Amino acid sequence: MRIAFYAPRATFTKPGNSGDRVFVQTFLEALRARGHRVEVMSSVDVRDFWRGDLPSWRLLTEGAAIALRTLQLAPAGWIVYSSSVNYPDLFGWRMHPKRYILLVAYPGHPERMAPRWQRVFGRSFRRSLARADVVTVYRPAGISHLRPLGVAEDRIEVMPLSAGVPDWQPTQAEARRRLGLPATAPIVLCMARFPDEETRGSKTQMVLDLVRAHASLPDDTLVLVTGGGDGPGRTQVEDAIRELELADRVRLVGDVDHDDVHWYYAACDVYAYPHELDRPWVSVMEAQACGRAVVMLRTTSAEMIIDAGTTGLLAADRDEFTELLGALVADRSRCRAMGDAARARSKARFSLAAQVRRIEAALRGTD
């Protein structure tokens, strides 16, 4: 099939290590590997309009360019990734595509835009929702968020962002030798970027909670945090490590190229992600696909992607998270058993291959 792919937040189509960028790159590669011709229709980020970084007339020229690309491609369908009122599809639904799929849609935050852009973008978002043959959401709560916008429930599918299940990955011993990590110590991994600004439920706060939880872990446990940024978030974490005298037991690795992250998954015993937001995090999906037990806070998304007690553990609050993480790290045979179960479940239910097949069916208009 010839497929038009469009991400209103154009940065998601560029190489990078964030969850959305990783998903988009692997998703497009998977479609092309199955013989589909996929073209990214635009590199313009619609946020640049409502932030004033691009003039309004640029919408017309970009729309004309996309119309020409659509005419040349003659696609069997459009896939629009991660659309909302702040990042609506301004173009695809106007092309009268044969099949039109909104892959991850959510209401967004119109209050962040000036009233003029709220009207323009809101109208386009509602039109795209009305035109869509299938609208996917990545967590169960997304269904109730779209109902008030007039999307019938029979057009909505819950489809968390998938992770590729690797055909091969190194043994734990091989990974630890390559990365220069202790051969026998328990290792906890967390992947997080430190934002420039602190907000409720930020990833910086999550890492701080994980650092403070070290007191409940076996003394020889090593906590690895991959990700980066030199903003105030990293400074806060470094200060906490010094204050708690954990310099030898908590290591901030910094940015890791996504092609190399499987070495870190292979090296660890447990993947810890105590974030309070209700999202099926891509790194959690990847950790399970690589055969690692996961400990998270309980949300509807976490309940969907983790079989509590079998593939990982879910905590009601941060105190219970600390308790569960400590108990699991102290039982490495249980870690391995949960990791094996997580990999099998990921392959059966949340693999990239399974998601691609569902999208192909939606493009063909079949179940």
Strand-pair partners of 157:
136
Fold adopted by 172-349: Rossmann fold (3.40.50)
Closest CA to 273 of 3, 14, 19, 5: 19
d(C-alpha 25, C-alpha 257), whole Å? 13
Which pLDDT score is estimated for 213?
Answer: 92
43, two tokens? 């590199």
Which pLDDT score is estimated for 229?
Answer: 60
Q: Which amino acid is at 144?
A: S
β-strand 293-297 against 222-226: which pairing, if any?
unpaired
d(C-alpha 118, C-alpha 121), whole Å? 5
CA angle at residue 103 from 29 to 115, to 5 degrees? 125
Domain ranges of the chain: 2-162+351-364, 172-349
Which pLDDT score is estimated for 199?
Answer: 47
Q: Which amino acid is at 34?
A: R
CB 234 within 8 A of CB 211: no
52, two tokens? 């004033």
Can you count the helices (H) and strands (E) in the chain?
14, 12
DSSP state of 226: E
Residue 182: helix, strand or coil by DSSP?
A: coil
Which pLDDT score is estimated for 29?
Answer: 92
CATH architecture of 2-162+351-364: 3-Layer(aba) Sandwich (3.40)
HSE, side-chain direction, 13 A CA sphere, residue 182: 15
CB 19 within 8 A of CB 161: yes
DSSP state of 351: B
DSSP state of 207: H
d(C-alpha 309, C-alpha 64), whole Å? 54
pLDDT tens string, the chain, 367 residues long: the values are 999 999 999 999 988 767 788 889 889 999 999 999 999 999 999 999 999 999 999 999 999 999 999 999 999 999 999 999 999 999 999 999 999 999 999 999 999 999 999 999 999 999 999 999 999 998 888 888 898 888 988 899 998 877 766 778 899 999 999 999 999 999 999 998 775 554 444 788 899 999 999 988 999 999 999 876 666 778 888 899 999 999 899 999 988 887 788 999 999 999 999 999 888 888 899 999 999 999 999 999 999 999 999 999 999 999 999 999 999 999 999 999 999 999 999 888 888 888 899 999 999 987 5
Token pair 């962002």 in the structure block, residue: 161
Do the first three CATH levels of 2-162+351-364 and 172-349 match, i.e. the same topology?
A: yes
Phi then psi dihedrals of residue 324, to 5 deg: -65, -40
Question: What single string gives the DSSP state of each residue in 47-82?
Answer: HHHHTTSS-THHHHHHHHHHHHHHHHH--SEEEEEE
Question: What single string gives the DSSP state of each residue in 124-163?
Answer: HHHHHHHH-SEEEESSTHHHHHHGGGT--GGGEEE-PPPB
Which pLDDT score is estimated for 181?
Answer: 96
β-strand 270-273 against 250-254: which pairing, if any?
unpaired
Residue 366 burial (CB count, 10 A):
7
Q: What is the pLDDT of residues 261-317, one digit of tens each?
A: 899 999 999 999 999 988 888 889 999 999 999 999 999 999 999 999 999 999 999
Phi then psi dihedrals of residue 188, to 5 deg: -110, 135
d(C-alpha 104, C-alpha 280), whole Å? 12
